[in-house]
Amino acid sequence: MATRALHAQAVEAGYAGRSILRGLDLAVAPGQTYALLGANGAGKTTTLGLFLGFVQPTCGRVRVLGADPVAKAAQARRQLAYIPENVALYEHLSARENLAYFLDLAGQHQGADAIAAALARAGLDSMDHGRRVAGFSKGMRQKVAIALALARQVPVLLLDEPTSGLDPQAQAEFSRLLVWLRSEGVAILMVTHDLLGAAQVADRIGFLDQGRLLDEVAASGPERFDVRALHRRYATAGAAK
């Protein structure tokens, strides 16, 4: 098994000549959850864009399970699922139909039983499988997106602010799902502003500041999270430069 599912080494990247990521080093192993925190504009979403192949580095190296997301885009994308803050679905289709459609698009046709199992595993109530997603809450939409990742059996999950706007119960449910996915060996990189939520599910937390990892803390060992100390560090990161 690869020791690094996601790997960025000495990455410089930006937009139209404007430098955003400045020497970023970041690695996520299979079965590991990494939470990336940082101020608005620090480059968190840009970091996800690197692994998705949307953002091309000007320097350094990016790999998704050994594949370069730009040069080997199809190979890299097959391995990952990306769940943006607001999941886009076909509003007039049901959850079940959305899943079937996206699986077909990915060339992974699956039968009704497999689709129902993925939606159930993602925590979507069976009563909602046949409902049009137009009336779905943010949490329900995320479940459809997670169900797609489950049905595709992707080894890597990229999440952009997955818990923002979820109520505490939906947040807890989502966290349990992430913990289970990690136990299944999925590598998870999540961008978030929710330090408490990150501390509950992540193995490592990285603080991005102006395109560099300012700090990285682990869940176990002497460096173990102390949420209050982390909060102090996070809240003063900009001022500490």
Ligand X SMILES: Nc1ncnc2c1ncn2[C@@H]1O[C@H](COP(=O)(O)OP(=O)(O)OP(=O)(O)O)[C@@H](O)[C@H]1O
* Residue 214 binds ligand X, judged by CB under 6 A: no
Residue 51: which of 190, 158, 132 has the closest Cα?
A: 158
Strands, sheet with 156-160, edge to edge from the N-terminal-most edge strand: 80-83, 156-160, 187-191, 33-38, 204-209, 212-218
* Residue 166 binds ligand X, judged by CB under 6 A: no
Question: Nearer Cβ to ligand X, position 32 or 47?
Answer: 47
Q: Least CB distance from residue 179 to ligand X, whole Å?
A: 24
Question: Nearer Cβ to ligand X, position 54 or 101?
Answer: 54
What's the one-letter identity of residue 143?
K
Please list every residue from 45 through 104 that binds ligand X, using CB under 6 A: 45-46
* Residue 42 binds ligand X, judged by CB under 6 A: yes
Q: How many residues does the chain have?
A: 241
Q: Least CB distance from residue 208 to ligand X, whole Å?
A: 7
Distance from C-alpha of 55 to C-alpha of 49, rounded to nearest angstrom = 5
Q: Least CB distance from residue 17 to ligand X, whole Å?
A: 10
Please choose, out of 35-43, 123-131, 138-146, 174-182, the segment that lies near ligand X by the rule CB under 6 A: 35-43
Please list every residue from 13 through 32 that binds ligand X, using CB under 6 A: 15, 20
- Do the strands 33-38 and 204-209 form a parallel or antiparallel pair, or are they unpaired? parallel
* Residue 197 binds ligand X, judged by CB under 6 A: no
Instruction: Pick one of 23, 41, 165, 238: the residue that binds ligand X (CB under 6 A).
Output: 41
Q: What are phi and psi of 10, to 5 degrees?
A: 50, 45
Instruction: Pick one of 30, 43, 53, 206: the residue that binds ligand X (CB under 6 A).
Output: 43
- How do the residues of the chain divide into helix, strand and coil, expressed in percent and rounded to 5? 35, 25, 35
- Using a 10 angstrom Cβ sphere, with 0-12 exposed, 13-18 middle and 19 or more buried, the burial of residue 120 is middle
Residues that bind ligand X (CB under 6 A): 15, 20, 38, 40-46
